[in-house]
Amino acid sequence: MKPSSSTSEHGARSPGERSLWGALFTDPDVEAEVCDRAWLRAMLDFERALAIVQARAGIVTEEAARMVVTAIDVGHYDPVAIGEGSLTSGTPVVPLVRAIGAHVTAEGRAALHNGATSQDVLDTALSLVASRALRPILAGLRAVAAECERLAERHRDTLIAGRTLTQHALPTTFGLKCAGWLVAVDEAVDALTRVREERLAVQFGGAAGTLAAVPRGGDPTGQLAAELGLAAPLIPWHTNRTRVAELAGALGAASGVLAKIAQDVALLAQTEVAEVAEADGGTSSAMPHKHNPVRAVLVTAATRRVPGLVATVLAAMAQEHERAAGAWHSEWQTVTELLRLVGGAVRGTRELLSRLRVDPERMRRNLDLTGGLLMAENVAVRLADRVGRSEAQELVAEVCRTAVAAGRPLRDALLADLRIGLSEQELDETLDPAGYTGGAGEFTDRALAAHRGRERR
């Protein structure tokens, strides 16, 4: 499905729409598709398509439809003026239709907004705005996935401490960590693609969802959907907001995936850890020595705002009868901000990963910070065949406590305990992190193969 790609002046991004915060939390390509002019363009696209489809069906004259299309294509419609005229009706549709009507004759006005209601225009506009904004968002997510793929392949066997509850757990690989990011990003792409291709739909139900003002026959909704490049719903969905909720949910999930990557990078970039670093930026206004993980911080800031917006969309699902009294209105700016923030987070994550510095030597040194304690499980596994699993766990736990209390490496404590019974060579093998990464390499290969299979489709 290919959405309408109208590029009229109504979609242009004016310098006046830039903001103090825009460069930090948005992506210019996404912003161009969610700004006020983009919404206005989408509403105009609905009115244009409606006139065209109804002329084809003989509902309005071709001449009347031509007047509407001409008025839309050559007219100059100011979002601010339209917005200021919205207070009496509660939506920008009424002043917009009035503004278009001022450019046509009475015959043309008969073909304008014929049989439609304000919600038809705005719901369809929301679908168009989301579809158009998702194009750069999805492209950006695929670029993020490509960076994850590059890092996973390069660091397939790079040892790193696996951390659970923020503490050293077992050895793993940085490649597997990146493969985890990759799989999650691919899943986010799948969810957003499904929403864009299958769930963003045209709305056309008329005043109460019955299309009573439109002559029966044919498939006006299907024709309108085809004209605009949107999905055709089974029936009008004025107060069935599952489509909007799925959009918000998929954006929320994508945001969570990006937040996870940013948080991992910020934690790994801590001074005491120093296993990764952002390649540039990160200056401080007061401390010349600082190299802050700025992009990770900005992605985190953007994604922290997303769950509340998703909650607003979900809260708006309970709507009164055939037209909501406020809940529907709450979606417009909420969805716009969701698209804006996720677009900015995608851009930031792509930049973050493309210039990420990885320090395998520091990762390897950090594995030894606990004096071999993160290999205790492997020691217990070795002993389990001889003394039983639970007994081995208790014995190794006791030796670990002794090692910590004495401030000595686990290897020395194990050698000193006659109950262990492992030779120095066996202990060296058992305490080698490279020999206890389980299926890390296999899992990384599996993630890479799945991703590359997607790219070939």
Dump pLDDT digits (tens) for 222-234: 999 999 999 999 9
Give 228: exposed, middle or buried? Use CB within 10 Å, 0-12, 13-18, 19+.
Answer: buried
User: Same domain for 326 and 407?
Assistant: no
Which of 284, 304, 365, 454 is catalytic? The answer is 284
User: Same domain for 97 and 227?
Assistant: yes
Residue 7 lies in a domain: no
User: Same domain for 387 and 316?
Assistant: no
**Which of residues 362, 397, 424 is at a domain's end?**
362
Tokens of 168: 């050293």
Residue 19 lies in a domain: no
What is the domain-level CATH number for residue 259?
A: 1.20.200.10
The predicted pLDDT at position 289 comes to: 63
Q: Which of 275, 292, 295 is nearest to 283 (CA)?
A: 292
User: Same domain for 350 and 393?
Assistant: no
The predicted pLDDT at position 358 comes to: 97
User: Same domain for 293 and 333?
Assistant: yes
- Alpha carbon distance 221, 4 (integer Å): 16
Residue 60 lies in a domain: yes
Domain count, the chain: 2
**Which of residues 362, 380, 414 is at a domain's end?**
362
323 is catalytic: yes
Residue 12 lies in a domain: no
In sequence order, which residues have a C-beta less than 8 Å from that of residue 281 and are 6 or more positions away?
292, 294, 295
Q: Which of 76, 84, 150, 88 is nearest to 118 (CA)?
A: 88
- Contact call for residues 441 and 152 (beta carbons, < 8 A): no
For 107-217, where are the E strands, in sequence order? 159-164, 167-173
284 is catalytic: yes
User: Same domain for 340 and 382?
Assistant: no
- Contact call for residues 145 and 186 (beta carbons, < 8 A): yes
Which of 323, 355, 364, 408 is catalytic? The answer is 323
For the chain, the average pLDDT equals 93
The stretches in the chain having pLDDT less than 50 are 1-16
Residue 438 lies in a domain: yes
The predicted pLDDT at position 216 comes to: 87
- Contact call for residues 12 and 37 (beta carbons, < 8 A): yes
- Alpha carbon distance 224, 202 (integer Å): 7
**Where in the sequence is the domain holding 238, given as residue range(s)?**
27-362
The predicted pLDDT at position 12 comes to: 42
User: Same domain for 292 and 156?
Assistant: yes
What is the domain-level CATH number for residue 399?
A: 1.10.40.30
Q: Which of 408, 312, 344, 366 is nearest to 158 (CA)?
A: 366
Residue type present at position 353: L
The predicted pLDDT at position 218 comes to: 87
Three-state DSSP state, 164:
strand
User: Same domain for 404 and 281?
Assistant: no
